[in-house]
Structure 1
């Protein structure tokens, strides 16, 4: 399905615009909040790991339940409500900072509450797209969303780095708060029919088991989910340690920090541009496996980086390859998941995979922080890279490579 035809699909343009605005704001936060924690609140490595974990803790605790609820409800109201409440919660961070009432425990709690709303939003978001786009266009639609997501990943962190330099980390968070408001207003204008398909049973645990069974007993979804769980765990180790490396070892300023956090977006844009074409030429499975290998290969450059321009270039190159791997794999993997899953299971399928993947972050991020404090940043990086290499080998040996 071509991009012009996608743009003609009812509601997709507004959905796409909403996603772009929201993602840009969220990527501002990926720079502003770490710098706020490290440079203003003076977090330790362990505290920083807990902060990262708090974002994803709701996925581990409530992720499967969210999938059931999304399959029982209309998805548009969930998306709008989550955006508006996140607007209010995110706005509390700069307010409390201005009143000198912001501490690391408070920031962790606010981040966890925002994570609860993000969980509901994400489960509904991935399950809403098949209502707007026919099955034949899902891979292309996901590629377009990932392209703009990657573009936002370029613009957001770079903007955040500049904003932090000028107005401070706490004030920069206001950009993300405003993006949630705009996103919610755009989604309110989407016109879509959402007939509810009542489940055969209203038994909560039965519905949870059905979602888990669909994912982890499916011949292809099971290895996709399991290797994804491992990927998210060890990637969380690396991505928790990387900001500590940039601040404590390379001593980069806020703008350089933002630029380096933006580089994966550039790689993601290019990866998403070639993703659909690569999947058609080489197959969905081989494209997914290639994406699993590129992340650890790119990350190998980070422990080799030293101070100065060469170190920054190597970190930037690693970030670019990492972003490219996500852009390459993401659209075809998501399109395959959505295409093989019945509509009544979309919410539970997406929530199952996302909640357990994000649950892996809850475990991996604190481990990265603890390792950085106890055995040093270089060792912590090597642990993450080794784990990512193991999952790449596992995906290569799994049935994933046979998906056409």
Structure 2
């Protein structure tokens, strides 16, 4: 059976999901707590997605390049510490890592709010604080992905990741809309404070999760353990192809996301509320995508379902690029339709592929390599963001938003 999984991976979801019919995720109380904590922090994160960029563009008078550098600073720790984080996570208790990093991230956002309110926050200070936030997010991400197999049996992994993706999609749907309203009501700095509270709550709830710890990796040479994680990913027959494809996707995704907020605010003339609804529509698409993800994997196979979802990104960005500019005095509702439909399709694509990719990666990887596998992939993916975010901002400032979007498609 193991040989079957290694060779015929495209049919993995059919094999791995057949044993799930008699199992229910809600019966795993620890996973429910973990799910609740993750959903809470996700809501705060998507509020921050709009609040942080509005803070830079509107409150601080920043340009698209500033948005790019601020975004890159959040992901820069993945370049420096990504591989080390995988070794760390495999050596220590995952729940401790999750609790400490959630608490730390809450404190950082509360401090950003304080600096913004007192008028001393600059782009430089914001980048430094987001570097610290990114470092904590790096360790949290590696531990978060690796923690799920300690909460549910392997036959439930794909379904568990689908539920996590669905709750994230709900947060993505509601968060930007709520965030846009909060920014108008209480201002961007205090909207960030909402995210701080969500992280603190998540950390407290995460501390109550009971789990079955996996065997920890014995201490050894750091370089050797990093090498083992990289070899597993890039010498595996199918993980290698998946990883390389995903790295390229993250490069262009970061370029697109860097200019999208500025494009909506400046080129299309949206206010913070309309911006929130436009971004929220991606979450609606993601909910639909995650709901169909497992079925798509069973019906077409993991490889085909993921390939189809990634092809859909091109028409999604093209629709957004075709939205009529406010400069041309076109009715704003027409631009909103193009933006919403494009975001819906973009979110749908992400929703289809997310659970399938995560379930497959965790399933084929031995438990003692989960941390290093996840951190290796995420560190290089985020390294692509560090390159793509400022590059996207530079192209948008130099060539214009529309030219940039047509390049990214």
Partner of 2:211: helix, strand, or coil? coil
Query: Which residue of structure 2 aligns with residue 91 of structure 1?
Result: 110
Aligned CA distance change for structure 1 residues 90 and 328 (closer, same or farther; 3 Å):
same
| The one of 300, 303, 328 aligned to 2:318 | 300
Deviation at 1:262, TM superposition (A): 0.9
Equivalent pair of 2:78/2:379 in contact (CA under 8 Å): yes
Deviation at 1:229, TM superposition (A): 0.4
Partner of 1:302: helix, strand, or coil? helix
Deviation at 1:131, TM superposition (A): 0.4
Equivalent pair of 1:74/1:196 in contact (CA under 8 Å): no
Deviation at 1:4, TM superposition (A): 6.8
| The one of 299, 309, 328 aligned to 2:352 | 328
Distance 1:279 1:23 in 2: 25
| The one of 338, 344, 347 aligned to 2:362 | 338
Distance 2:363 2:377 in 1: 15
Partner of 2:321: helix, strand, or coil? coil
Once the two structures are superposed, residues 9-38 of structure 1 have per-residue CA deviations (whole angstroms, 9 ceiling, x without a partner) of 141010000010000000000000000000
| The one of 160, 167, 176 aligned to 2:179 | 160
1:77 aligned to 2:101?
no
Distance 1:24 1:79 in 2: 17
1:134 aligned to 2:153?
yes
Superposed counterparts of 1:108-147, under 5 Å: 108-147=127-166
Equivalent pair of 2:92/2:216 in contact (CA under 8 Å): no
Deviation at 1:303, TM superposition (A): 1.5
RMSD of aligned residue pairs (Cα, Å): 1.2
Deviation at 1:379, TM superposition (A): 1.3
Aligned CA distance change for structure 1 residues 152 and 4 (closer, same or farther; 3 Å):
farther
TM normalised by structure 1 equals 0.93
1:214 aligned to 2:214?
no
Equivalent pair of 1:73/1:196 in contact (CA under 8 Å): no
Aligned CA distance change for structure 1 residues 312 and 3 (closer, same or farther; 3 Å):
farther
Distance 1:143 1:256 in 2: 29
Distance 2:67 2:205 in 1: 34
Aligned CA distance change for structure 1 residues 115 and 3 (closer, same or farther; 3 Å):
farther
| The one of 384, 387, 390 aligned to 1:366 | 390
Decide which moves more: 13-22 or 241-250.
241-250
Equivalent pair of 2:151/2:212 in contact (CA under 8 Å): no
Distance 2:393 2:21 in 1: 44
Aligned residues: 384
Distance 1:376 1:299 in 2: 15
Distance 2:215 2:61 in 1: 49
Aligned CA distance change for structure 1 residues 48 and 193 (closer, same or farther; 3 Å):
same
Distance 1:283 1:91 in 2: 44
Equivalent pair of 2:75/2:131 in contact (CA under 8 Å): yes
Distance 1:257 1:140 in 2: 32
1:41 aligned to 2:60?
yes
Task: Give unmatched runs, 5+ long, in structure 1.
Answer: 386-404
1:377 aligned to 2:401?
yes
User: Runs in 1 of length 4+ with deviation above 6 angstroms?
Assistant: none
Distance 1:270 1:152 in 2: 13
Deviation at 1:297, TM superposition (A): 1.9
Query: Which residue of structure 2 aligns with residue 32 of structure 1?
Result: 51
Distance 2:195 2:82 in 1: 23
Deviation at 1:213, TM superposition (A): 0.8
Equivalent pair of 1:3/1:140 in contact (CA under 8 Å): no
Deviation at 1:55, TM superposition (A): 1.2
1:13 aligned to 2:32?
yes
Query: Which residue of structure 2 aligns with residue 263 of structure 1?
Result: 281
Deviation at 1:331, TM superposition (A): 0.5
Decide which moves more: 295-304 or 65-74.
295-304
Partner of 1:173: helix, strand, or coil? helix
Partner of 2:216: helix, strand, or coil? coil
Deviation at 1:104, TM superposition (A): 1.1
Equivalent pair of 2:69/2:390 in contact (CA under 8 Å): yes
1:317 aligned to 2:335?
no
Query: Which residue of structure 2 aligns with residue 400 of structure 1?
Result: none
